[in-house]
Amino acid sequence: MSDKRKPNIDVGRLRAHYLMMHRIRALEEVALRALNDKLLPGGIHPSIGQEAVAVGVIAHLTQQDLILSTHRGHGHTLAKGASSVAMFHELLGREGGACGGKGGSMHIADFRGGMLGANGVVAANIVIAAGAAHAVKLKKEDRMVVCFFGDGASNRGPFLEGLNWAAVFKLPVLFVCEDNGYAATTRTCAMTAGLGFSARARALGVPAVEVDGNDVLAVEAAAAECVRHVRAAEGPRLLHAKTFRVTGHTSGDPGSYRPEGEVEAAKARDPILRAGQLLTSVGVAADALNADRNCAYTEMEAAYRSARDAPFPAASSALVDVQDVGSPLVEPF
């Protein structure tokens, strides 16, 4: 006899994750349209296909907790509570942006929500996260730090330096490796020696957990355990989430280096699709799920229109937020 019992899940919580993942994807897709409309300067690094990692991890954080992100940071920023309107103003370089319209996609931040910034330098955010966590510990603050980085970053020096420092001083930081299988346009496995990122973390005394990064409930459960240990002052943890980015490395990358059929095969594991199927299996109506999707796209379309119609920052604001410590040729140290 087949088991027809429904999965034992918190439907309301999964529904909230489903909506947030749709919000992230809608933001990315509308941002790509803004780029095609020639209203978004430069390029962007979409996180389409990776939404479950941001949502599953950040679900356990408070506003006081801190995160650091990568060049692929839109989803983390939105999941941490940033305004979609402020984010679109920032992406388009307009007044009212999260960073005054002067940071753009790769340097977006939201200090009020605890998002300390995206970073265009691969792996640089790992050592910054260790520094932030050390400050939290020294100040005896009741919060923690989460650092998101990609698999390519794990082959750079700051990975060793940051995890070593965090382990030595038992810092309150969770390192999250979003392993999408590619370091820019190169297969990560072809350039990674040994047993991989988790083994490297464990060699430094940092416990590591692997998880299916396209299953939002699996990510949430694994992150919950990691966060519990970090908040208990037991030192850093590493969460290795295996996921897949559907687009190329950047908005201008066609991804022609990927073998035929790989992207289509990955879409069967799409985190939004899987969450929707699970919600359907426990009785959530298709109309309700469509309403969630439509709500997300309506929000992002409105945010895009707001940014499109907003002015650029005044020229007089160019040096606002720029620190002037004087000329080293004139000022004594």
Q: Is the pLDDT of residue 1 over 60?
A: no
Provide the CA 121 distance to its chain's centre, in angstroms.
Answer: 15
Structure tokens belonging to residue 267: 């879409």
Give the Å distances, CA to CA, from 326 to 165, 322, 333: 32, 12, 10
Tokens of 167: 């382990």
What is the rounded CA–CA span in Å between residue 128 and residue 199? 22
Length of the chain: 333
Residue 212 is assigned to a structural domain of this protein: yes
**Cβ atoms within 10 Å of 192's Cβ, excluding its own:** 17
CATH of the domain at 118: 3.40.50.970
Q: Contact 235/167 with Cβ under 8 angstroms?
A: yes
Position 16 in a domain: no
Q: Is residue 254 part of a domain?
A: yes
Q: Which long-range contacts (CB under 8 A, 24 or more apart) does 11-16 make?
A: 11/279, 11/282, 11/284, 13/59, 14/216, 14/217, 14/275, 14/278, 14/279, 15/279, 15/284, 15/292
Note the pLDDT of residue 2: 46
Summarize pLDDT for 274-331 with one digit per residue, the tens.
999 999 999 999 999 999 999 999 999 999 999 999 999 999 988 888 877 777 676 6
Query: Residue 243, SS3?
Result: coil
pTM for this entry: 0.93
CA 191 to chain centre: 23
DSSP annotation of 149: E
Amino acid type, 285: A
pLDDT surpasses 60 at 32: yes
Domain assignment of residue 320, yes or no:
no
How far apart (Å, rounded) are the C-alpha atoms in residues 279 and 10?
10
Q: Is the pLDDT of residue 150 over 70?
A: yes
Give pLDDT, residue 4. 60
In the predicted model, what is the mean pLDDT of residues 126-144?
98
* For residue 332, pLDDT beyond 50: yes
Check residue 116 and report its DSSP letter.
-
Residues facing 176 on adjacent strands: 148, 239
Confidence of residue 15 (pLDDT cuts 50, 70, 90): very high
CA distance 144 to 141: 8
Contact 209, 146 (CB under 8 A): no
Cα 59 to its chain centre, rounded Å, is 12
Query: Has residue 272 been placed in a domain?
Result: yes
pLDDT at 8: 80
For residue 141, the enclosing domain spans: 44-82+108-282
The number of beta carbons lying within 10 Å of the beta carbon of residue 291 is 12
Phi, psi for 284 (deg, rounded to 5): -75, 130
> How wide is the angle at C-alpha 232 spanned by C-alphas 70 and 69, nearest 5°?
5
* Residue 312 lies inside a defined structural domain of this protein: no
- 68-120: per-residue pLDDT in tens? 999 999 999 999 999 999 999 999 999 999 999 999 999 999 999 999 999 99
User: Which residues are within 8 A (CB) of 119 and not within 5 positions of it... i.e. 6 or more apart?
Assistant: 68, 69, 70, 71, 73, 106, 107, 125, 128
Q: Are 290 and 19 in contact (CB under 8 A)?
A: no
Question: Is residue 51 situated within a structural domain?
Answer: yes
With respect to residue 195, please indicate whether it lies within any of the assigned structural domains. yes
Number of domains, the chain:
1
